[in-house]
Structure 1
Amino acid sequence: MFIPIQFSSQNGFATFYTSSLSLIQKIMKLDFMFPFERNMYNMDILFNDKSSADCFDNWISIEDIVGSVVSNRLNEKLELDLSNLCNDTEFSQKGLCFYRFNLLSFFKILMLRMGRDTKFLNLSRNNLSQLPMDILNFFIKGNLIGINLSNNNITSLSELQRYSSKIEKIWLEGNPVCEEMDAPTYIRQIMMKFPRVTEIDGVKLNENGLILPFIKNFAVTPDRHTKMLVEKFLSLYFSHFDHSRIRIDKFYNSPASLTITTAFTPEDEKLLPSSFAVDGRNMIKIMDRRLNRKEQEMKLNKKYFNTKKQVIDALYRFPETVHDPTTFCVDVVSKDINHMLLIIDGVFKVTADIPRNVFRFRRTFLFVTTIQNPTTCYFIRNEMLHLDYASPEMIQNSFLQPSRNLYDYALINPDPEEKNIVTNAFCYLTQLRKDEAVSRLKTYDWDIKKALKFFQQELKSDLIPMDKFEMDLDEGHLSDEANMDEVD
């Protein structure tokens, strides 16, 4: 196969120049091999003594073009953006059809050089049907810590081997593989392949626990792009709202507004967090006959927050919460290039010690768009929040799948098989008898990490009788801090 990268065409004839005699010989041989069943167009070969500069002003190769395109996509932060590579304008200008992304792996010298320095690799929007292992191998062995594979057509991670790599951040959203797996399987498969990952699809797992992806129940199933947008908003917004509201202002634009309505009796309000009464408009008391209309309006206006600062201050006053994403019912009422209207119903609980701490909510968000080339950003322009007590049925069916930190080694409501696996691992690491291992794990709520920590402390202090062990114990081996750190 040969690919002319610079040629001129006129009246259906294409002309290109080459100084390679071996290529001409191959073409001539091919031409004579199939005189009656030709698989190519008629070709005339003209010999002359022109140089490439005479024909095309300068000599250029495929390696030069590809090297120029790839090098220009590496920025000062060592982020290599290879997204939508095959459609790069320089390829089309040079008449080079770079029709398949995996062809990049043939430029080994370029890949070795780029793979050594690159820290973040963006492979999004390349129509990949599977992971480009022949390309990834050049980067995984270097300083790569982040990889973006979003918005491709990847259907499986099975061909990906487990890497003892430095990968900490990975993006896979927008691929069929994300839609075909439930939340635990999705995260587990990624972490099996990349054991050091701390952030998936833009959400930090090591800070806020298992917060991605939510289990969502769309009342109206949106298109693929809208679904991705909504899922990312739900993941980021409620993780920040429940754990740290420092960054929550990033979701709102400057002229944002907020209203909070409640339906609590005066007796209930005495037992609730003060912000529910201070910032909320109580629909039960809204028609207080003791106040005239003007006084009622003045009272309500004080609970309408119409600047970004007022909105954020009100949300900061909101008590600490824990939302149950499995209860969320999500509906995208409308979406166009200018706005999106989103309604979310669900259940949350207040961490404060109050008699009734589980509530139902409805949050209505109106998003407006802002163009920040080359992306479109969505910001909350208006929000309406309604609060009420959750019904007994809601309470019974919520918080059945507690969120937890993936880096904790604790079991939550473990079944017998899980208990047996952890017990065997603990026995192997400590050489304790099985009954003693079970007793210790129960004491620390089946948290093997915590149980090992206290086992090490007791072992160093010689507080564990020898009859607790299954066999003779090499105390020096188990008390070695380096070994225990490796286990940790």
Structure 2
Amino acid sequence: MDFKTVTPSPDAITLNEINVCLINQCKALLDVKTYWHKFYIIETYGLTRNLVLKTLLEHIQPLELIPLCYTEEGKGAYFFARNCSQVIKKFCSDKLTVHNPFDFRKPFKLKIALKYTTTCNVKVDHYCRNVLKVLQKRLKSHILCLNNFVEDPDLNDFLLLSEPKLLAFVLNVAKILKPKIIKLCNNEIKSLEALRVLPAQSINALDLRNNLITNLTELKHLSIFDITELWLEGNPLCDLYDEYNYVEQIIKYCPKIEKLDGFLLRQNGVPSFRRNFLCDVSAYDVIDQFLEDYFPTYDSKDLAKLESFYHKDALFSMTAEQFHNQVSSATSHIKSYKQYSRNLMDTPNRDSNLYIGSREIVKLFELLPHCEHDPYSFTVDVMHYSKKLAIIIVTGVFMEIPYVKRILGFNRYFILECRDKNFRIANEQLHIFNALSSQQAKAFKKPRVLQEPRNETQKNQMLNTFAIITNLTKEWAKIVLEECHYNLKHALLVFIDLYKSDKIPSHGFKTYD
């Protein structure tokens, strides 16, 4: 027997807008976990199941509800749920009325039939079979793909995995399939506690890209597994941690991890090449600020400002090399750099190509092609750091403007001296080469988001990125960014505070049919 064929119990009590006060006489009944209650939505105004139920679930947060057998009936709809006494009390305290974010003039009105039937008449196993069928379809070679799960066309019920109780319900059903790898991308997941319903050591890889996880402490729930591969890209937390602490914290929660966000950390227990090296954690803020200031200034056409980064007696030299058999070999020539090169073996005027003094260095930069660096390609190694001296090696790619097909690689070796409480470049060696095939394949794939956008185009880029990360509408994303003067890190912190305190209305978030 299922919900559509079961007859209502003669003892059922229906609460509506008029007699909602009867809830005070039904408290004992609400605590019985074997009762199924029927929830009526009197009118849905033509909205889809997912939009209606998502609105109801947002209304009761942080309480949880598992709605089953959503059925449209006339202008309205109904569904069933049990073990939800606090949810029923919440709806009743709001006079069985829920704000409609799509039209504030037409709120959702509810009726609730308490004790409509019991678990003796309708067992949840009947509905687990549909979920299991969908999971079997999504399982391939021990990899269970739950990406965008609520949108699956074969799923009979609304199972929004951002709700911990619903995620736990789905994972509990999935246990029978014994997956080793689980993909949970694009599900708006904020908490990972529900993963604990899976058997210990049952999974070794987890893909959580493009969710709403804001803190690495959520990874404590993964400690029961032997996670060797983890993806977290696209979660707000990725913008709140520097790379050093990001990796360090993840290893603490997942000590056997070998691959993180596609990068190899170790293999068979042996540490792998680290993309960035920091000899001293205290160097992070100083070096980060230097890079954020130096490269945007270098890429700007106002190179005069670049002179302030160099000590007045600074030394600069450049080398250039063409690598053959690369994707870029045919298009990225280095002749414009070779004439200023100081390659000791093949440059006849190498002695004159040593530039001394900040003004002479900037004059050279004015002769070189205008360019734009890709900050996402940077590898930064801090080889030495003290209060008086820092040695930094930056490797990455840049693109000559307007020759958009000319992608070049670079290696810049900076020696910074601290004078008058500011670090200045005392010595720099720049090596330029045509980009390696591996660099070319990844170059300029991500939109550039600056800490302080300089024009409307850059502001729109940041707005689009911020809206994707937070799932806010563009109107609300713009409000937060403007309040934070387009400082992305600050805006993310403000968003988290607003979200935790429930100060963003439901219509402030994007909705999906």
TM-score normalised according to structure 2 size: 0.39
Higher helix share: 1
Larger RCO (CA within 8 A; separation ≥ 6): 2
